[in-house]
Amino acid sequence: MKREIIIKRRDAVATRAAILAAAHQRFLRESYDGVGLRDIAGDAGVDVALISRYFGGKEGLFRAVVQHDDKPDMFREPKSVEELPGFLAKLVVEDADENLQQRMEMFIIMLRSASSPKAGEIIRELAHHDVLGPLTELIGGEHGELRATMLLAILMGVGVVRTIMMVDGFADDDDIAECTERFRCLFAAALTC
C-alpha cells in the first residue's frame, strides 16, 4: 500500500495558494491577533518559515488574503439604486449562492480583525475604497455618502450579530422569502429616510 496519499510536488504557486486558502479560512473564524502563523502553516501542510518567505510576514499575508478576491466587481451586479435593497437582502440571507457567500465572507474577515492596529489599517482602506466608494457612487445624490455608510452599517451589523455573536434570531423566521423581503424593506428605508 502506498504511504503517501498525496504526491507533494514542489510547486511554488501551488503552496502559495494553499497558504492563502488556509489563511482565508482561519481569518474567517478568528481575529488577526488570534490566529498564529503556525496554525495556518499546519493547515496548509507547510513549514511556518514559508509564510514569511512568500508573503513577507503576517501583515503581508493578511493583505494578500483580503486583496485576493478581486474587488472591482464587488458591486457590479446591482446596476441601479432601485435594485440595491434587493441585492443587499439577498447578500445577507442567501446562503446558496456561492458568489454572494464569498462576498459576505470578506465582510466577516474585515469585521473580525477590524480592531488590531495592523490589520485595521488595511481594512479601513479596503472598506473606504472598495465598498463605500462604489456604493456612494451608485447611490449618488446629496446625502449619498451618508446613505452608503448606513447601508454598510446594517451589513456589518448583521454580520456581527449572526456570525460573531452567534445570536441568529433570523433563523427563527422559517420562511426565507419573507426574511429576504424584511431585509429588502430595511435597506430601502435606509435609502429613503
CB atoms within 10 A of CB 37: 19
Residues 158-177 that bind a copy of itself (CB under 8 A): 158, 160-162, 164-170, 172-173
Residue (95 or 168) nearer to a copy of itself, CB: 168
Which one among 69, 127, 138, 180 touches a copy of itself, defined by CB under 8 A? 127
CB atoms within 10 A of CB 23: 26
Q: Which of DNA, a copy of itself, none does 180 bind, CB closer than 5 to 8 A by kind?
A: none
Interaction between residue 35 and DNA (CB under 7 A): yes
Dist CA 159 CA 154 (whole Å): 8
Amino acid sitting at position 65? V
Minimum CB distance to a copy of itself, residue 185 (Å): 4
| CA angle in degrees (0–180, nearest 5) for 70-27-19 | 70
Amino acid sitting at position 76? R
Interaction between residue 119 and DNA (CB under 7 A): no
Interaction between residue 157 and a copy of itself (CB under 8 A): yes
Q: Which of DNA, a copy of itself, none does 48 bind, CB closer than 5 to 8 A by kind?
A: DNA
Helix or strand or coil: residue 8? coil
Interaction between residue 20 and DNA (CB under 7 A): no
Is there a contact between 190 and 151 (Cβ–Cβ < 8 Å)? yes
Interaction between residue 124 and DNA (CB under 7 A): no
Closest C-alpha among 48, 52, 32 to residue 40: 48
Minimum CB distance to DNA, residue 10 (Å): 4
Interaction between residue 92 and DNA (CB under 7 A): no
| CA angle in degrees (0–180, nearest 5) for 132-73-163 | 65
Q: Pinpoint the alpha helices (H) of 7-164.
A: 12-29, 37-44, 48-55, 58-66, 84-93, 98-112, 117-126, 133-139, 144-159
Interaction between residue 12 and DNA (CB under 7 A): yes
Binding positions for a copy of itself, rule: CB under 8 A: 30-31, 33-34, 110-117, 120, 123-124, 127-128, 132, 143, 145-146, 148-150, 152-158, 160-162, 164-170, 172-173, 182-183, 185-186, 189-190, 193
Binding positions for DNA, rule: CB under 7 A: 9-12, 14-15, 35-39, 45-53, 57-59
